[in-house]
Chains A and B, each alone.
Chain A
Amino acid sequence: MFRVLGAGALTVAGLALAGCDGVQSSLAPQGPSARSIANLSWVMFAGASAVLALVMVLALYAVFRTPARHRGIPDTLMVAVGGFAWPVLTLSALLVYGVYQMGDLRAGPEPALEIQVTGHQWWWEVRYPGAGGQPEVVTANQIHIPAGVPVSIALRSADVIHSFWVPNLSGKMDLIPGRTNRLRLQADAPGRFRGQCAEFCGAQHARMALLVVAEPPDRFAAWLDAQRRPATAPAGQSAQRGYAAFAQHCSACHSVRGLVERRGPDVGPDLTHLGSRAFIAAGTLENTPDNLRRFIAANDRIKPGNRMPVFDGLDPATLAALGDFLGGLH
């Protein structure tokens, strides 16, 4: 049994190493909220290991001791001290720590920048509200934030319950139909952090990832400006052919602001400036024209159960053109 205890300690140590380069790890905090929780975690891991070791040493000693040299302790004393006084003291201290920390994590004024995130089966709709006559930015699965300042994420759901979780930056918060929840996100420094839906939400719950890109405030402002501009008509023959095919085949569900307006219900992500996003299909594939083409033709194999129709009837040239058009929407 002691050997097992040792194995436990080894795993915990190994875990710290594994966490260091984690892009989706609560133990590699990159923001004040995640750091404060990670500190609490390490305190608790240490404390819990000590308690477990003590309990097991007592129990194993009680069983394996040599009877001759053994000294009894009154039952009630042992229970009152070990089973009552000790947990009451340590747990009270821990509780006070935890409750204060919880208050701290939610304290302070609401941040100036609010980003609206709506969960869909199985992707994230992201909106930056319009301001001062500037149009609203609608994008998907990739959230840009200014580094070093808190932003507020307003969380809603379009269908079932999802949960927004970017472990390097903060704990998670659910997206619940009929409600708006808020979460504060802050990154210490520029970087890319992966997140994922944490509440089981159906077929492709596993492929509902998102990327948070923290940038220096000026670069963030530039990014937001660029996103506010409508898409421009593509140059090049293939891309132009893709533009026409997009208008014909894709605009029932998708918009490209400035070029193609969605005709049907709000079911597919807005694809304006799709070329500026790192991944497609909520973190499923890297965003390359090739992958775009593959996803359009065979998304049922890449992300089975997703809501997008399969366009395997399109000829290879049209598919390639669509890839060029979408990849060119920077």
Chain B
Amino acid sequence: MARDRAASGERDQLHANLERVWANDPGLGQLRAVNHSSIGLRFIVTGFVFFLIGGLLAMLIRSQLALPLNDLLDHQDYAQAFTMHGTTMMFFFAVPIMEGFAVYLIPKLIGARDLVFPRLSAFGYWCYLFGGILLYSSFFVGAVPDGGWFMYVPLNSSAFTPGAGPDFWLLGVTFAEISAVAAAVELIVAILKTRTAGMAIQRMPIYAWYILVTAFMILFGFPPLILASILLEIERAFGLPFFDAALGGDPLLWQHLFWIFGHPEVYIIFVPAAGLVSAILPTFAQRPLAAYSWVVLAVIATGFISFGLWVHHMFTVGIPLLSLAFFSAASMAVAVPTGIQVFAWIATLWNGRPLLRVPLLYILGFLFVFVLGGLTGVMVALVPFDWQVHDTHFVVAHLHYVLFGGMVFPLFAAFYYWLPLFSGRAPSERLSRLAFWMIFLGFNITFLPMHATGLIGMTRRAYTYLPGLGWETLNLVSTLGGFLLAAGVGMFLVDFLLHYGFGRRAERNHWNAGTLEWAIAAPVPPYNFVAQPRVATREPLWSDPALAQRNARGEGYLGLPDPKRRETLMTSTLHGEPEAVIVLPGNTWTPLVAALFTALFFVGFLAKLYWLAAIGATLAFASLFFWAWQGGSRDQDTAMQAAADCRLPLHRTLAHSPGWWGTLYALLADGTLFLSLVFAYFYLWTVSPHWPPAGYAAGGLLLPTLATAALIAAGLAVAWGLRRLRAGRSSGPGMALFAAAVLGVAFMVLEVSALLGTEVPAREHAYGALVHFLVGYQFVHVLFAVLMGLFVLVRMRRGFAGSARPSEAAVVGLFWRYTVLQWLLGYSVMHLFPRLL
């Protein structure tokens, strides 16, 4: 007895110590929080608020369409309502809330204490929030975007929309997209490098696979849209013609870039939601997910195929039949991996012991709605059928079946399923079912008739319609269904709030699930695990029911009796064997400050106060360097005892630290943006009869080649310096970084002279506009590379970096290498290709 009490006292002390290190600061200090549970919940709550706002806009739309020639909204109100509805639901609800779930759940599922770049998660959240506020501030200045959520040009060019509406859209959405890319980088590194001991890649919870694939899709999918948004904003603000057909541009370039993003986007929303289904369903069948490897392969295949079907949004723009056939085939092929998942879910239920609780009810609702949406998706993938239904209410119905069915139903299942972790209470089984049936019936009454509305001729985005075309009844039914759906969402909210007040206390592992997040006490503490457990199976809690109790006693990795700092394990990518201990940063203002300065840049740009934008950009970059300065330590310790029998190095002693991995994945996104730019260049080349256009002086090859040589020399100097650093030489690395800085500046001077020597005006033709943009994009990189090099130079002098701490220098080396490679491509495209042809 006495020993038990002593043990329990020790345990409480352990928890209290962990709490001291990991807790958020109270009061306003909450704004300094970087912990993944806090950030994840903020994403989820903010995303849900945007869902409600988008839903209100939807109710306005449905009210307007309830009757023919209705005058509730005028054409402009209506255009604003559907533009903001689509934009909000896509960019400010669906993607961020799925990110929020991933940020909240992934560390818990993979047995980690926190995400690997906590400040980046916080920064991403602030960017998302400020981007949303920026977009919605358009309501206060009367410049609400009204050109549709895919912002087609030339309708949204300054010639046809001179007001600031499109600028609010382009800047607000781009601002928020920073968070998607940031979360993607972070989740990839977290999943690949911070799984707990023994969690080999084939034992990873299935949800982690889905998030891994989603994150890679974001890295490759968002950059084309970010590029397109930047190009359109530059065209609108400074008159560089990229999309103007009269000046060598092409409005279809916008459509290509938008949908190269836009189609993967649909899967960026659906894949994580399907991941929620695959994670939840096995618990209610009380058995592991059927055909795990099939499902993993199917998800990866979805990721790949989703990049090959963007043209199915463009079947009516007049594209040659052969490419139509290709994209039609790809669009149908993507149904196969989805079929595999559907049957894996059915097989899991079929061969399990199903228990119908609310989360499973939502999953069944999901199955009906999503499969129907998938089937109409196959229909619109067929080119002739799409020629009829494209841009009609049939497509509106289809996309809501896929997105609402594919994403909102799983989301609600997830809310109920993980509720005990959020609140420590169990969900109700009565009100929750009532809400489900209202949502399910309301949804189908709204959108099932809408297929017919489209087939009998009603186009989308028409703010009014004439009586007598046979559309009245169907529209009225849809509107009534819409109100039932809205009431259902209201019922869900009521249930949710009541639950917080009156819900039954949930014990640990409320649903008897198999995955690690249920080993955590509810509601979850900020450090998740008292000690990081070692796992041997995919469902550790099923194969080892005592795991949770042992974990609470602090058995495992990093269960230190007196922790001084936030730590989590870094493990090998394939086998999940411990490699190092990552020391994580604690609460800090830096992410919020950096995001505020970034906001200053966007606001300045929007107000056309470019000096203010420049100040904002400079301060934002400065805060990033301050951020980098915060990390690291001058302590001499290089390793620590992670468990009784396991001593591990600290992450800063590694060349391939988490920061290095993060940079690598961020550069994938960067490279994708640059490749999209190269795509734009060659695309316009094929459209344009003369490229470069007649009358443009070609310019000599000498200066650009000298510039390129300088840049290569800079890259070689950095590589040499890094090798010296690894060899432990103190002279050399500093000199090399300094030489690289000088050569980098020389590159910029030479390339500018080359550009000035030729006559390629930026505003007269898309060619000149693209050349200027390419060079400008490269300059930003070189400048950043130079500054990073100088930064590390100072860090080495101050003892934060050096041969025992090579991680920062390695990041700089990676960035330099990328910068040189990017320019080699840019140089070939700009200076060599036009001479070859």
Do residues A305 and B75 form an inter-chain contact, with CB atoms below 8 A? yes
Query: Most B CB atoms within 10 A — which of A26, A56, A72, A304?
Result: A26
Contacts of B440 on A, CB cut-off 8 Å? 4
Q: Residue B382 contacts which of A22, A52, A94, A160 (CB distance < 8 angstroms)?
A: A94
CA distance A36 to B349 in the complex (A): 41
B99 → A minimal CB distance (Å)? 28
Do residues A98 and B382 form an inter-chain contact, with CB atoms below 8 A? yes
B368 closest partner in A (C-beta) = A56
Of residues 206 through 245 on chain A, the ones whose CB sits less than 8 Å from some CB of chain B are: 206-207
Report the stretch among B36-44, B179-187, B230-238, B335-343 that lies at the interface: B335-343
CA distance A207 to B466 in the complex (A): 9
A105 close to B (CB within 8 Å): yes
A168 closest partner in B (C-beta) = B457
Do residues A59 and B332 form an inter-chain contact, with CB atoms below 8 A? no
Contacts of B154 on A, CB cut-off 8 Å? 159-161, 177
A179 close to B (CB within 8 Å): yes
Do residues A76 and B294 form an inter-chain contact, with CB atoms below 8 A? yes
Q: A15-B456, A176-B317 are in contact. Are A202 and B378 (CB under 8 A)?
A: no
Query: Most A CB atoms within 10 A — which of B155, B245, B251, B346?
Result: B346
Do residues A37 and B291 form an inter-chain contact, with CB atoms below 8 A? no
B335 → A minimal CB distance (Å)? 6
Contacts of B346 on A, CB cut-off 8 Å? 55, 58-59, 62, 78, 82
A105 closest partner in B (C-beta) = B384
Do residues A173 and B343 form an inter-chain contact, with CB atoms below 8 A? no
Contacts of A79 on B, CB cut-off 8 Å? 290-291, 294, 340, 343-344, 347
Do residues B152 and A200 form an inter-chain contact, with CB atoms below 8 A? yes
Digitize A17-32: 1 where CB-to-B-CB distance is under 8 Å, 0 elsewhere: 0110111111110000
CA distance A24 to B155 in the complex (A): 26
Do residues B375 and A52 form an inter-chain contact, with CB atoms below 8 A? yes
Of residues 1 through 60 on chain A, the ones whose CB sits less than 8 Å from some CB of chain B are: 1, 4, 7-8, 11-12, 14-15, 18-19, 21-28, 34, 36-37, 40-41, 44, 48, 51-52, 55-56, 58-60
Q: Residue B459 contacts which of A21, A182, A196, A204 (CB distance < 8 angstroms)?
A: A196
A101 close to B (CB within 8 Å): yes
Do residues A98 and B328 form an inter-chain contact, with CB atoms below 8 A? yes
CA distance A203 to B245 in the complex (A): 22
Do residues B452 and A18 form an inter-chain contact, with CB atoms below 8 A? yes
Q: Residue B457 contacts which of A176, A194, A304 (CB distance < 8 angstroms)?
A: A194
B351 closest partner in A (C-beta) = A72
Contacts of B350 on A, CB cut-off 8 Å? 58, 61-62, 72-73, 78
A198 close to B (CB within 8 Å): yes
CA distance A63 to B246 in the complex (A): 61
Do residues B336 and A203 form an inter-chain contact, with CB atoms below 8 A? no
The B interface is mostly helix, strand or loop, or mixed, namely helix
Q: A15-B456, A44-B379 are in contact. Are A177 and B368 (CB under 8 A)?
A: no
A195 closest partner in B (C-beta) = B457
A274 close to B (CB within 8 Å): no
CA distance A102 to B440 in the complex (A): 36
B751 → A minimal CB distance (Å)? 32
CA distance A63 to B705 in the complex (A): 69
Do residues B448 and A203 form an inter-chain contact, with CB atoms below 8 A? no
Q: A48-B379, A63-B364, A178-B246 are in contact. Are A171 and B462 (CB under 8 A)?
A: no
B318 close to A (CB within 8 Å): yes
Do residues B379 and A26 form an inter-chain contact, with CB atoms below 8 A? no
A7 → B minimal CB distance (Å)? 7
A284 closest partner in B (C-beta) = B466
CA distance A253 to B341 in the complex (A): 60
Contacts of B316 on A, CB cut-off 8 Å? 163, 171-174, 198
Do residues A176 and B340 form an inter-chain contact, with CB atoms below 8 A? no
Do residues B245 and A160 form an inter-chain contact, with CB atoms below 8 A? no
Contacts of B388 on A, CB cut-off 8 Å? 26, 34, 37, 41, 167, 171-172
Contacts of B367 on A, CB cut-off 8 Å? 55-56, 59
Contacts of A52 on B, CB cut-off 8 Å? 368, 371-372, 375
A149 close to B (CB within 8 Å): no
Do residues B339 and A87 form an inter-chain contact, with CB atoms below 8 A? yes
B280 → A minimal CB distance (Å)? 14
B449 closest partner in A (C-beta) = A11
Q: Residue B452 contacts which of A15, A56, A202, A205 (CB distance < 8 angstroms)?
A: A15
Contacts of B387 on A, CB cut-off 8 Å? 37, 170-173
Digitize A284-310: 1 where CB-to-B-CB distance is under 8 Å, 0 elsewhere: 000000000000000000001100000
A165 close to B (CB within 8 Å): yes
Report the stretch among B302-310, B389-397, B498-506, B579-587 that lies at the interface: B389-397
B78 closest partner in A (C-beta) = A206
CA distance A198 to B148 in the complex (A): 13
Do residues B375 and A48 form an inter-chain contact, with CB atoms below 8 A? yes
A103 close to B (CB within 8 Å): yes
CA distance A55 to B349 in the complex (A): 13
CA distance A23 to B465 in the complex (A): 14
A37 → B minimal CB distance (Å)? 5
Contacts of A207 on B, CB cut-off 8 Å? 464
Do residues A161 and B251 form an inter-chain contact, with CB atoms below 8 A? yes
Contacts of B441 on A, CB cut-off 8 Å? 4
Digitize B312-345: 1 where CB-to-A-CB distance is under 8 Å, 0 elsewhere: 0000111001001100110011011001111111
Q: Residue A165 contacts which of B250, B290, B341, B459 (CB distance < 8 angstroms)?
A: B459
CA distance A60 to B360 in the complex (A): 11
CA distance A7 to B152 in the complex (A): 37
A36 → B minimal CB distance (Å)? 7
Contacts of B560 on A, CB cut-off 8 Å? none
Query: Most B CB atoms within 10 A — which of A27, A51, A52, A167?
Result: A167
Contacts of A280 on B, CB cut-off 8 Å? none
B387 closest partner in A (C-beta) = A171
Q: Residue A304 contacts which of B74, B451, B466 (CB distance < 8 angstroms)?
A: B74
Give 4 A-B pairs besides A159-B154, A160-B160, A179-B245 with Cβ atoms closer than 8 angstroms: A25-B456, A51-B371, A63-B356, A176-B317
Q: Considering the complex of A and B, which 9 residue pairs feature the smallest CB-CB distances, nearest first?
A: A171-B387, A178-B245, A83-B343, A24-B457, A75-B290, A206-B462, A62-B349, A15-B452, A181-B318
Return 20 A-B CB contacts under 8 Å, by A number.
A7-B448, A8-B372, A24-B456, A40-B384, A41-B388, A44-B378, A52-B375, A55-B342, A56-B368, A63-B364, A75-B348, A75-B351, A78-B343, A84-B340, A102-B321, A181-B317, A196-B462, A200-B460, A200-B461, A205-B459
Show the binding face of B for A, using Cβ within 8 Å: 74-76, 79, 147-148, 152, 154-155, 160, 245-246, 250-252, 290-291, 294, 298, 316-318, 321, 324-325, 328-329, 332-333, 335-336, 339-351, 353-354, 356, 360, 364, 367-368, 371-372, 375-376, 378-379, 382-392, 440-441, 444, 448-449, 451-452, 455-457, 459-466, 469-470, 473-474
